[in-house]
């Protein structure tokens, strides 16, 4: 018998294009909930706190692809470097350097998304376009052989104004299109991660191919 979580996940997947990766955001939810979703065959799960990510990774099946979707502090990178599938929120050159350093220690190339600040809120993290270009065109990135930049990530303003949300996603998509043919060895831009439970449909319409959805699968957060 399928659980409510399994049903929600299965129904949601039917509405997404095949080209879109669904990251099921399990933050604050118990491992048993993740397991119910995993048993449908789903493998991509996202957490926004390192401690929660590492403890779930220890408890749950090893073929799960763990996404670090929250703000990542440099001193925490070492805890997830051995196993993390994708780091979504790389918002500084210093953080990228630390990921490269820890990737080297565990002999892994760690996939990353550069987070772009598109929201009209100061609470959101991210690079502006000038900082993005400085990273992509800088000599330091070329020397980081233990990271691979595979795309961009952005979060829209938390607002009811759908025109504003659409405008912000559109701006991120246009930056992505402008830089996706970067010819650096460790830059292969194919992922545009934008859209969460409240705005993923707009994000898909604006070109997202990775959405981060939690409450629409697992229900309201447990704070």
Nearest to 132 by CA among 81, 172, 166: 172
Per residue in 59-104, pLDDT tens?
999 999 999 999 999 999 999 999 999 999 999 999 999 999 999 9
Task: Name 86's bridge partners.
Answer: 67
pLDDT of residue 182: 72
pLDDT of residue 2: 59
C-alpha–C-alpha distance, residues 109 and 102, integer Å: 10
Per residue in 39-53, pLDDT tens?
999 999 999 999 999
C-alpha–C-alpha distance, residues 124 and 168, integer Å: 13
pLDDT band at 3 (very low <50, low <70, confident <90, very high): confident
User: ∠ at Cα 50 (104, 10), nearest 5°?
Assistant: 105
pLDDT of residue 223: 55
8 Å CB contact between 20 and 208: yes
Which region, left, alpha or beta, applies to residue 194 given φ > 0 means left and ψ of -120 to 50 means alpha? beta
pLDDT of residue 187: 86
C-alpha–C-alpha distance, residues 189 and 15, integer Å: 25
Report pTM. 0.94
Provide the mean pLDDT of the chain.
93
Per residue in 112-134, pLDDT tens?
999 999 988 766 689 999 999 99
% pLDDT > 70, the chain: 97
- Region 149-161: mean pLDDT is 93
Phi, psi of 185 (to 5 degrees): -65, -35
% pLDDT > 90, the chain: 85
Domains, in order of start, for the chain: 4-218 (3.20.20.10)
Q: Token pair of 137, please?
A: 């065109």
C-alpha–C-alpha distance, residues 51 and 105, integer Å: 20
pLDDT band at 172 (very low <50, low <70, confident <90, very high): very high
Identify the H or E element spanning 114: strand 110-116
Per residue in 183-218, pLDDT tens?
777 888 999 999 999 999 999 999 999 999 999 999
C-alpha–C-alpha distance, residues 157 and 86, integer Å: 23
């Amino acid at each position: 018998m399928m659980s409510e979580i399994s049903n929600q996940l299965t129904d949601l997947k039917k509405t997404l294009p095949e080209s879109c990766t669904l990251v099921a955001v399990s933050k604050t939810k118990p491992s048993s909930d993740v397991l119910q979703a995993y048993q449908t065959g789903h493998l991509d799960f996202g957490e926004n706190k390192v401690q929660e990510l590492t403890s779930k990774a220890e408890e749950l099946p090893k073929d799960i692809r763990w996404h670090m979707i929250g703000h990542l502090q440099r001193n925490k990178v070492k805890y997830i470097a051995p196993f993390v599938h994708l780091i979504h929120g790389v918002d500084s050159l210093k953080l990228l350097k630390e990921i490269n350093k820890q990737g080297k220690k565990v002999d892994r190339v760690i996939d990353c998304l550069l987070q772009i600040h598109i929201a009209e809120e100061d609470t959101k993290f991210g690079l502006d376009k000038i900082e993005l270009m400085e990273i992509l065109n800088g000599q330091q990135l070329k020397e980081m052989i233990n990271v691979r930049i595979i795309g961009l990530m952005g979060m829209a303003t938390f607002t009811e104004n759908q025109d504003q949300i659409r405008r912000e996603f559109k701006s991120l998509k246009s930056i992505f299109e402008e830089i996706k043919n970067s010819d650096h060895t460790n830059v292969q831009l194919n992922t545009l991660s934008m859209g969460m439970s409240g705005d993923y449909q707009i994000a898909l319409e604006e070109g997202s191919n990775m959405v981060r959805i939690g409450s629409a699968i697992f229900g309201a957060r447990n704070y």
